[in-house]
Amino acid sequence: MTSQASYEKMQLRQNYRNLWHADLVSTMKVDTPYCCLALWCGPCVSYLLRKRALYNDMSRYVCCAGYMPCSGRCGESKCPEFCLCTEVLCCFGNSVASTRFLLQDEFNIQTTKCDNCIIGFMFCLQQVACIFSIVAMIVGSDELSEASQILNCAADLVYCTVCACMQTQHKIEMDKRDGMFGGQPMGVPPAQQMSRLDQPYPPTAGYPPPQPYGQQPYGYPPPQAQTYPPAGYPPQAQPYPPAGYPPQGYPK
């Protein structure tokens, strides 16, 4: 039941309407130095981005941002910095994806079709490289083994490049969040609103709370007290026939 509920809530991410400030294709052009840093020092950048995504408050930290079965069961509350270091070193791909999901759920950001194609191509290439390696090991062909090594190198290169672009995309989005592109920086949300997968849909963050029946929202004048029956009811009895009837000159 828990996995089914998580799957259904993750499907709601398709309904998000906001877009990343920069797509994966343009990240290298928007911030080339940071993209190079993310390529050569991926785990370090993943650590810094996750901490920044949590507004530098490590008391909010949960392993893999709460998206994996192990989340909350690794003693994160006792030593969150050490747990985050372990996550980015041992589960680098999951750490990048978790930061991405965290930002998407906080700001209702959808993944564009182009980004999905790039990420899907990366996964498919890794699967093909794995299959080639298994076949080369079983068959024992030198040519096939050499081809599988070349394919593995290409898959690793694509993987590292896409992860670097994704981390640059996250950094640019947080620059936007923190007001570095102009405008007012966003406030720090409560910890329970960082990940909306644990909240009912639609999210209530930013919306006024529902008011009890008969109570006006704040800022509206209170409703006027009504009496029953309302004033003026029933109407005053009128004499019949009304005064002035019949008209003058009408035969009686």
> Which tens digits make up the pLDDT trace of 27-84?
999 999 999 999 999 999 999 999 999 999 998 999 888 877 777 777 788 889 999 9
| For residue 206, pLDDT beyond 80 | no
- Bridge partners of residue 18, in order along the sequence: 109
Which H or E run includes 51? helix 42-53
Residue 250: its pLDDT value, please? 47
Give the helix ranges, DSSP H, for 80-191: 80-90, 92-107, 113-139, 142-177
Alpha-carbon distance 206 to 38, whole Å? 33
Structure tokens of 33? 């130095």
Q: What's this model's pTM, rounded to 2 decimal places?
A: 0.69
> Which tens digits make up the pLDDT trace of 113-162?
888 898 889 889 888 888 888 888 888 878 888 888 898 899 889 999 99
Based on the number of CB atoms within 10 Å of its own CB, is 239 exposed (0-12), middle (13-18) or buried (19 or more)?
Answer: exposed
Confidence of residue 202 (pLDDT cuts 50, 70, 90): very low
Confidence of residue 183 (pLDDT cuts 50, 70, 90): low
Residue 172: its pLDDT value, please? 95
Sequence-distant (≥ 6) Cβ neighbours of residue 231 within 8 angstroms? none
